[in-house]
Structure 1
């Protein structure tokens, strides 16, 4: 028979530590991750989300053709959701005592994804799907790295990952509807 662990909270010690390290904000002794590494990864994720917002917004405005209305609506929805992700990430960076890097200088270098304008709906869909797949893989790696050392950031990234997976499925379905699913994406050309 397994013995049950009892929970004993030393409130007095917790109170003393909280007062002694008030300058550290939300980060307490229980935080085990490398804060500098987490903030760096989050700033790269922030850049990724900003690049995705910009690419989706451009595609929203540039969509044309018989299927443009429904595809453009999807682009706008994704752009708004990517902006929400960026806001969540920036908030978490501040909670960890960092500064969110919104500087346009080096934005593409910090981003995991590329900014590809795309010509026509199919290429726009493909480029956005490629970007979502990149975000999915990199966010998986960040979540794995965080483990139990920073559960708050991990849960935030897991929620963002779920959204990115949904975006990828939406884009894949739109490509299928256009009869283009299964064709390899064209080589990205940076502009």
Structure 2
């Protein structure tokens, strides 16, 4: 962006005083705010479902290789919870309400909650869920484009960690 394209300071100050109740959403916000909030809530549901599944797997892991897997399950549950917090915080910043209603979580989640009976099934289901998150978050990032750089960055950061989780689960699955 060249200096010729930058808004002068007086105009910025004047605009900042308009619609102050919108918080960080200024007049140059280009995204459909309601759609972004809907996408964020779907992703929030996905992260919360993953927290629950990883927590179950942590407590249910058994067998010779269970301790390594259980450590991964617990670490991933904590990271998924952090993702959920970031998504909920962004929803509120955009003037929405994060949907923590348990009745809506499995309906709105991209990933399914599949318990898995054996350690191998648990790892496989976690890998599938991570792959779903990776693909859906990539699509959301592309959809957002440059219309909401802050939300896009949040999704990019989460995506990078979901890719790590998928890699971890693929490695675990190989060893089982």
TM-score interval, smaller chain: over 0.9
Deviation at 1:32, TM superposition (A): 0.1
Structure 1 distance, partners of 2:3, 2:137, is 36
Structure 2 distance, partners of 1:14, 1:166, is 40
Output aligned runs, 1:125-140, within 5 Å.
125-140=123-138
**Greater share of residues in helix:** 2
TM-score by length of 1: 0.89
Matched, 1:14 2:12: yes
Structure 2 distance, partners of 1:110, 1:39, is 13
Q: Over aligned residues, Cα RMSD in angstroms?
A: 1.1
For structure 1, the residue ranges without an aligned partner over 5 or more in a row are 179-191
Structure 1 distance, partners of 2:12, 2:158, is 32
User: Corresponding residue for 1:174?
Assistant: 172
Match of 1:143 among 141, 144, 155: 141
Q: How many residues align?
A: 175
Deviation at 1:18, TM superposition (A): 0.9
Deviation at 1:6, TM superposition (A): 2.5
Deviation at 1:9, TM superposition (A): 3.6
Structure 2 distance, partners of 1:61, 1:49, is 18
Answer with 1 or 2: which has the greater Rg: 1
User: Corresponding residue for 1:187?
Assistant: none
Structure 2 distance, partners of 1:116, 1:9, is 51
TM-score by length of 2: 0.97
User: Corresponding residue for 2:25?
Assistant: 27
